[in-house]
Amino acid sequence: MLAPMASSSLSLNSDFLNNYRHSLHQDTPFSAPLHSLLNLSSTAFPKRRLNCEGRFRAVPVVKASVGAAESEVVRDRTVREEGKILRVGIICGGPSPERGISLNSARSVLDHIQGDDLHVSCYYIDCNFKAYAISNAQVYSNTPADFDFKLETLAQGFKSLSDFVEHLATSVDIVFPVIHGRFGEDGGIQELLEKSNIPFVGTPSNECRKAFDKHDASLELDKQGFITVPNFLLQGRELEDTELSKWFTKYNLDIKQGKVVVKPTRAGSSIGVTVAYGVTDALTKANAIISEGIDDKVLVEIFLEGGREFTTIVLDVGSGLGSQPVALLPTEVAYHTPPRFPEIVTRNIREGASLLFQQLGLRDFARIDGWFLPPSAETSYLTGNKLGRSEFGTILFTDINLISGMEQTSFLFQQASKVGFSHSNILRTVIQRACLRFPNLHQYSVVSSPILRAKSSQINTSFPKHQDLRKVFVIFGGDTSERQVSLMSGTNVWLNLQAFDDLEVIPCLLAPTNGYPLNTDSDKTKLGESSKIVWTLPYSIVLRHTTEEVLDACIEAIEPARAALTSHLRKQVMDELMEGLKNHDWFRGFDISDDLPKRYSLDQWVEQAKEAGATVFIAVHGGIGEDGTLQSLLEAEGVPYTGCAKKEDLLKMPLLDIWHDLTSKLGCETLCVKPARDGCSTGVARLRCDGDLTVYVKALENCLLRIPPNSLSRAHGVIEMPFPPPELLIFEPFIETDEIIVSGNAHDLLWKGNSRWVEITVGVIGKRGSMRSLTPSVTVKESGDILSLEEKFQGGTGINLTPPPLSIMSNEALEKCKEHIELIANTLELEGFSRIDAFVNVDSGEVLIIEVNTVPGMTPSTVLIHQALAEEPPVYPHRFFRTLLDLASERSS
């Protein structure tokens, strides 16, 4: 390990801050937060190492004592000397609006690189540039707000950045920065690491600065001979229209209506980007970017009318300091990989992106965005015979992303899987390639793919044969309003179960019926099971954001001409990759095959599961996934599945027309209405008067997919409605709970505690008759009376408090609550796993049940993951999902 540079904390902080300020321009709004970094304490952070758990080890969230940590360092050194374990430090967060994406990227990287030969420590830098060492469990926080709320109590802060890098120098072998935007891609974090000789993944600081600034990058690309989009730079707070008007005239743009793109020069590829019409509108939107503090330099570009956007990942497969970039198969936005361009255009994009990567001095990997203008598009404003122009059209590169998004379904993984890389394989390949640039890291050799870890050292150009492996079908999708959450849940379960080498996990889409032509009576409001379609999916097609996109990709993939072209281009890229990777003994080969999706009726799919001896992991939320239909079909064929046999509704009554009948029967003034058979948040609304009931009923009669915000008598958000409309509704008294508010400093809770009731959600797990309660969670609502789909399922909104703070609920009341939850679960004969939503009295632990979700959300940051991580010892996602799978198998045996 390289020793840190012999410099005091004063010189490191001062030099670094001065340089960083200079790169941002000192009069920008971004220099202000950096004053918080001027803590020039010379007391270093204790030289300790946080627990670096392996893929299946648990990590306590509490802070470790210095003494215990020092003994851990000694033990770890012994292990490393014997097994040469590579220690990787993931740094996420940062001041950019993209820090939420950064947290998602960090979670994804953590999930896919950990192993016996590679240990991970996680770090976070907040908006004020304060660094923290965080537990791996904390990375699974729901949102940035959730993360920040818990930061002070669960993380170990560093007094200054110099203390932080001194800690890194002794605690990790290489850093993997996943900070998107400012401080991550502008050279900030890279310069900080370079000053202490700490190895890191990615491009050096000087090259980052040139590539991140869109204006500077445009000038450099023009200098290197690439075609660029004509642009005009606006900077400072006094923007005048004279020069911009001249620029409009120069390119024959109408001064009042000419269409342009306005964007900050130093922000993420989508941050602050907007379309403007004419000079006045362009200046207005440029001023908004500056006044909102996004950037003080704004670029105005010609709108590429008729253009088609693309993005491509470039991977460096060279050795040492030598660069050998290979562009993967580009994606035509949205989500056509390879793009639907002429083959020669795709080849030219790949060659151009690889050349750009090399000429700009980029390292390891990057994502390069651009536009393809077909011959029919207007290109008279593009002059000169430069790289990117041909008889088939014009290629322009417009954005360089030095730290590509690494969320589960990002372009990086979409494109990598198309040419044979799993998530783990591509990330480990990037890390190992970075290690080759640092002589002191040559001794480490992490296997590129854990799936192929047990194979011989011979490079594997074929794919692992799935013989004698236990088959698992993960099914997701469907027709309900929760189908997109179901896709997230299913994808997360599928990816986590990939960690087990005794399983063959097959993702399956229950296709949305409105996305595929079916021979059904148009008057029918409910389609029979026999008409439902299930697709078994290849790896790359799962990685989409909506079920409709997955379905479209399936249909496109089986077109003979498209399949042949994809296979041909895939082989070209893989051959180019192997030219470099064959020289590295750590590369075990590609681990994703080039399969096609297959279409079955639901009945045929069940038969396939039976013949394969598969266990079905149900991740279909609402509809047939939770009303017992899918479970009955599987039971009839003896196919084991996760979760409960059937969900019984706790309270059902037909819709009544008269408001006072409802309120008098239930003895309340305010009602909660919900469909009798649907997901937990679909169609749930608070009704305060007969007018609210009228609006709700009319929405059902008109088959509305959602009730717009503020349609009822009190302000509310969008209410997702069930389709088709339900046959039965449940009406129940609306329980007034005490509102929990996060105070202005984002670290304290305000709670009046008048009613003594709060809403909780809690997972239960186990065998029938012996279900065990996990630790309940209180979710602080972002707005409104009803927790939204995002608050319950996704990493979108809300702060999850697991367990409820002692200031709200005592340990005694919490244990009573868990006893009541377990009694409810066993009384309802639940099994496998479920989630129970309820109201709890914070003094007595008394529980009033709201509903039972037999297929709860299983997204990467859902509350169930938080509750599993709160166990002692913590249960990480892959182990949690494996436990659920094993419970299903045990039940059927």
Residue 745 lies inside a defined structural domain of this protein = no
Looking at the fold, whether 512 and 366 belong to one and the same domain comes out as no
Contact 446, 586 (CB under 8 A): yes
Among 302, 331, 361, the domain-final residue is 302
The region of weakest confidence among 351-365, 785-799, 806-820 is 785-799
Number of domains in the chain: 6
Look at strands 799-801 and 778-780 and give their pairing. Answer: antiparallel
Residue 382: give its domain's CATH number: 3.30.470.20
Does residue 520 or residue 463 have the better pLDDT?
A: 463
Query: pLDDT at position 100, please?
Result: 87
The region of weakest confidence among 400-414, 645-659, 742-756 is 645-659
pTM above 0.85, yes or no: no
Query: pLDDT at position 893, please?
Result: 66
Query: pLDDT at position 436, please?
Result: 92
Q: Which residues of 643-667 are buried (b: 16+ CB within 10 A; e: fewer)?
A: bbbebeeeeeeeeeeebeebbeebe
Q: What is the pLDDT of residues 381-394, one digit of tens each?
A: 887 678 888 889 99
Residue 409 lies inside a defined structural domain of this protein = yes
Query: pLDDT at position 791, please?
Result: 42
Residue type, 653: M
Specify the DSSP class assigned to residue 16: H
Does residue 81 or residue 339 have the better pLDDT?
A: 339
Residue with tokens 């930061």: 151
Specify the DSSP class assigned to residue 855: S
Q: Coil, strand, or helix at residue 579?
A: helix
Contact 189, 91 (CB under 8 A): yes
User: Is the pLDDT reported for residue 82 higher than 50?
Assistant: no
Looking at the fold, whether 177 and 242 belong to one and the same domain comes out as no
Looking at the fold, whether 292 and 408 belong to one and the same domain comes out as no
User: By percentage, how much of the chain surpasses pLDDT 70?
Assistant: 80
Residue 208 lies inside a defined structural domain of this protein = no
pLDDT bin (cut points 50, 70, 90) of residue 643 is confident
Average pLDDT over residues 814-823: 94
Specify the DSSP class assigned to residue 794: S
| Domain extent at residue 702 | 659-733
Looking at the fold, whether 602 and 674 belong to one and the same domain comes out as no
Query: pLDDT at position 690, please?
Result: 80
Residue 687 lies inside a defined structural domain of this protein = yes
User: Is the pLDDT reported for residue 61 higher than 70?
Assistant: no
Q: What is the pLDDT of residues 261-319, one digit of tens each?
A: 999 998 877 788 999 999 999 999 999 999 988 898 999 999 999 999 999 999 999 98
User: Is the pLDDT reported for residue 551 higher than 80?
Assistant: yes
Residue 214 lies inside a defined structural domain of this protein = no
Looking at the fold, whether 170 and 23 belong to one and the same domain comes out as yes
Residue 38 lies inside a defined structural domain of this protein = yes
Q: Coil, strand, or helix at residue 546?
A: coil
Query: pLDDT at position 20, please?
Result: 61
Residue-averaged pLDDT of the chain: 81
Query: pLDDT at position 62, please?
Result: 30
Distance CA 244, CA 221 (A): 22
User: Is the pLDDT reported for residue 646 higher than 70?
Assistant: no
Looking at the fold, whether 422 and 497 belong to one and the same domain comes out as no
Nearest to 548 by CA among 581, 515, 518, 578: 515
Looking at the fold, whether 158 and 242 belong to one and the same domain comes out as no
pLDDT bin (cut points 50, 70, 90) of residue 198 is very high
Among 181, 200, 219, the domain-final residue is 200
Average pLDDT over residues 593-614: 94
Distance CA 430, CA 884 (A): 32
Looking at the fold, whether 294 and 315 belong to one and the same domain comes out as no
Looking at the fold, whether 475 and 610 belong to one and the same domain comes out as yes
Looking at the fold, whether 838 and 690 belong to one and the same domain comes out as no
Looking at the fold, whether 249 and 100 belong to one and the same domain comes out as no
User: Is the pLDDT reported for residue 403 higher than 50?
Assistant: yes
Looking at the fold, whether 382 and 477 belong to one and the same domain comes out as no
For the range 807-812, what are the long-range contacts, defined as Cβ-Cβ under 8 Å and sequence gap of 24 or more?
807/749, 807/751, 808/740, 808/749, 808/751, 808/753, 808/758, 808/778, 808/842, 809/758, 809/840, 809/842, 810/842, 810/843, 812/845
Q: What is the pLDDT of residues 325-349, one digit of tens each?
A: 999 999 998 779 999 999 999 999 9
Query: pLDDT at position 338, please?
Result: 94
For the range 723-728, what are the long-range contacts, defined as Cβ-Cβ under 8 Å and sequence gap of 24 or more?
723/479, 723/480, 723/481, 724/525, 724/526, 725/525, 725/700, 725/701, 726/675, 726/676, 726/677, 726/678, 726/683, 726/700, 727/676, 727/677, 728/649, 728/652, 728/653, 728/654, 728/655, 728/675, 728/676, 728/677
Residue 217 lies inside a defined structural domain of this protein = no
User: 214: which residues sit within 8 A by CB, 6+ positions away?
Assistant: 263, 264, 265, 266, 299, 398, 399
Average pLDDT over residues 444-469: 55
Distance CA 838, CA 852 (A): 9
User: Is the pLDDT reported for residue 68 higher than 80?
Assistant: no
Does residue 14 or residue 627 have the better pLDDT?
A: 627
The region of weakest confidence among 2-6, 488-492, 527-531 is 2-6
Distance CA 270, CA 105 (A): 17
Query: pLDDT at position 853, please?
Result: 87
User: Is the pLDDT reported for residue 21 higher than 60?
Assistant: no
Distance set, CA 359 to CA 95, 226, 740, 824 (Å): 29, 11, 54, 65
Query: pLDDT at position 15, please?
Result: 58
Residue 511: give its domain's CATH number: 3.40.50.20
